[in-house]
Amino acid sequence: MGMTEAVLLTVIAAAVPLLLAALGEVVVERAGVLNLGIEGMMAVGASCGFAAATLSGSTTVGIVAAVAAGVALSAVFALLTLGFAANQVASGLALTIMGLGLSGLIGAGFVGRTREAVGRLDVPGLTDLPAVGPLLFGHDPFVYGAAALTLGIAYFLKRSHPGLVLRSIGENHVSAHALGLPVLRVRVLAVLFGGACAGLAGAYLSLVYTPFWSPGMTAGRGWIALALVVFASWRPLRAAAGALVFGGATVLQLHAQAASLGLPSQALSALPYLATVVALVVMSIGRGRTSAVPGSLGVPFVPDR
């Protein structure tokens, strides 16, 4: 395996958690809800996933636990913002604060433990193909899962009837309600789906990306995933492309630090965050004032009877 392929593999590995979390948030935001709690749900997913996998010895159990934890946290968010029509920005922040704390409580007993990372697939014959082999057939199962999820959500949003319902609810909840569409029910389901995706992204971090748990291991990835949604104009396929760009920035930073370019290491560490700001700015210039933002994004909805 050559150098280029090795770098591409690390870029993809760095992109997967961003993509998983961003895909969930695309669905949530397309339904008109802004959940800023991704970072918290991801952190709890990472600690629950690692704890469950370590205790049970099974990666599958770990993944299920991480997804369940993400769903549980997002259910609290749904109760606050959809049940009580509370402010979504503040509720999302509360979720992140609580999630980061909870992940510390859950993971405290597992600091310093390691387990074997989820292995890469190895298809005899295919993986050994020159050049394309490792790139197409040499990933861990999460990579294929994320790719399938991207296509699935793209199809769901663009081609399916429930996807149309979800988008119309996010675009204008008053009209959707007048048409008899179940605004709150669809939104609850979307928020729970977003929680599942964020939990899965957390599981990837602690079970595959680094096979251990450490406090604060999400390191702002949840927030970058939120930016990725904006960057992708709320479209799943663009989110996948964007995740590779952001993942690339992360990897570039690691390689640049190893190559010691004379730049301070902090400047390189700041790269993903600065890239996020630049990406948001470029997107705004690119689309001018006519934006792809879902019309009802972040606005609480209380149906009249």
| Binding region for other proteins (CB under 8 A) | 36, 40, 76, 80, 83-87, 89-91, 93-105, 108, 180, 182, 184-185, 215, 220, 223, 226-227, 230, 264, 266-267, 269-270, 273-274, 276-277, 280-281, 284-285, 289, 291, 302, 305
Structure token digits, residue 7? 């770098």
Least CB distance to other proteins at residue 265 (A): 8
Q: 38 or 143: whose CB is closer to other proteins? A: 38
Least CB distance to other proteins at residue 192 (A): 15
User: Shortest CA distance to 101 belongs to which of 160, 40, 171?
Assistant: 40
Structure token digits, residue 15? 């992109």
Least CB distance to other proteins at residue 20 (A): 19
Q: 92 or 134: whose CB is closer to other proteins? A: 92
Least CB distance to other proteins at residue 126 (A): 40
What distances in angstroms separate CA 66 from CA 18, 72, 280, one per listed residue?
Answer: 16, 10, 30
Torsion of CA 182, 188, 192, 194, to 10 degrees: 80
DSSP string, 57-80: S-HHHHHHHHHHHHHHHHHHHHII
Q: 97 or 123: whose CB is closer to other proteins? A: 97
Residue 20 to residue 30: CA distance in whole angstroms = 16
Q: 12 or 38: whose CB is closer to other proteins? A: 38
CA pseudo-torsion sign 277, 81, 90, 21: negative
Least CB distance to other proteins at residue 226 (A): 6
Least CB distance to other proteins at residue 11 (A): 21
Q: 146 or 230: whose CB is closer to other proteins? A: 230
Query: Integer distance in angstroms from the first to the last C-alpha of the chain?
Result: 64
Residue 61 to residue 45: CA distance in whole angstroms = 12
Least CB distance to other proteins at residue 235 (A): 17
Q: 151 or 274: whose CB is closer to other proteins? A: 274
Q: 43 or 64: whose CB is closer to other proteins? A: 43
Burial of 225 (0-12, 13-18, 19+ CB in 10 A): buried
Backbone angles phi, psi at 303, to 5 degrees: -65, 140
